Amino acid sequence: MPRPARVSPDRILAAAAVEFAARGFGGARVDRIARRARVNKAMLYYHFKSKQGLYRALLRRTFSLAAARFQAIAASDAPPAEKVDRVIAGLAALIHDQEFFPAIMMREVAEGGAHLDRETLLTLAAVPRAVGGLVQQGIAEGAFRDVNPLFAYLSMLAPIVFYLAAGPIRKEFGALHLEHLEPLPVDDFVQHMQETMRRALARTS
For the chain, 205 residues long, give each residue's pLDDT as a single digit of tens.
445 456 789 999 999 999 999 999 999 999 999 999 999 999 999 999 999 999 999 999 999 999 999 999 999 999 999 999 999 999 999 988 888 888 898 889 888 989 999 999 999 999 999 999 999 999 999 999 999 999 999 999 999 988 888 877 777 776 776 666 666 788 999 999 999 999 999 988 6
- Please state which of the four CATH numbers 1.10.357.10, 3.40.50.11030, 1.10.3720.10, 3.30.430.20 is assigned to the domain occupying 58-201: 1.10.357.10
Q: Which pTM was predicted?
A: 0.86
Number of H helices, E strands in the chain: 10, 0
Map out the domains of the chain as residue ranges: 58-201
Q: Return d(Cα 89, Cα 86) in angstroms, integer.
A: 5
